[in-house]
Amino acid sequence: MSNKLSSGRNRAIQSTSDYVYSTIREAILTKQIPAGTRLVEAKTSRDLNVSITPVREAFSRLAGQGLLTVFPYKGTYVTIMSRKTVNDIFYIRKHLEAMAAERGFARLTAEDIAYYEELCQKSDRSYDRDDLYESIHCDILFHEHMFTISGSVLLEIWNTIKYRIECIQSYTKPVMNSRMSVRHKDMLEALRLRDQERYVLALIEHLSSSQSSMVFPEEENIRYT
């Protein structure tokens, strides 16, 4: 880690373990720690003024989410996303989110629509103040809510890939240069109209547009040094 980590958000209400985890996670998503950077437990514990144990726990948690890659006898690195991995994630998303819509649309309420609108407004405010981390969080919640509404096992599957989706968004959002209310406009309108078919079409178009805006290395070109 080349720069000393800054304090995470809301440290007062977090356990030490959660504080270390959220601080490192935010630093990865905001590129304070770039992909491919080697992380060392001892240095991280000094930077955050904590013991080794919560750092070790955070590293393990982040590795399980795909944000860190661990090489035995070599070290722990911020994961470099490959083109294949990213394309696989988008392939899964398109099918998984369409399935969630099939199960969730009939359960949509006025409160759900208001929640979607609130997320767009909150994300736009984050965008205006260059808060990438909060903007990503709002975007994830927008897509996640349909899984919550569906009340199915699909939410469990979503939870296994959403951290990698956050990582992907940390690359795509800065180059897309648009508020969430604009990028999600067609999806939001379909939600208001309770039009499932229109929503899925808008969703696929949205994801395809995001996918086409990305540049990631081929697996054979990735090096951790």
Round to whole Å and give the CA distance between 171 and 28: 11
Q: Which one, of 83, 120, 105, lies nearest residue 217 by Cα?
A: 83
Do 11-78 and 83-212 have matching folds? no
In tens, the pLDDT along 133-188 reads 999 999 999 999 999 999 989 999 999 999 999 999 998 887 766 789 999 999 99
Instruction: Please give the backbone phi and psi of residue 7, each rounded to the nearest 5 degrees, phi first.
Output: -65, 140
Q: What DSSP designation does 4 have?
A: P
What is the amino acid identity at position 206? H
| pLDDT band of 7, cuts 50, 70, 90 | low
- Map out the domains of the chain as residue ranges: 11-78, 83-212
Helix (H, G, I), strand (E, B) or coil at 160: helix
Pick the CATH number of 11-78 from 3.40.50.20, 1.10.510.10, 3.40.50.150, 1.10.10.10: 1.10.10.10
In tens, the pLDDT along 189-217 reads 999 999 999 999 999 999 999 898 888 99
CATH architecture of 83-212: Up-down Bundle (1.20)
β partners of residue 71: 75
pTM reported for the whole predicted model? 0.90
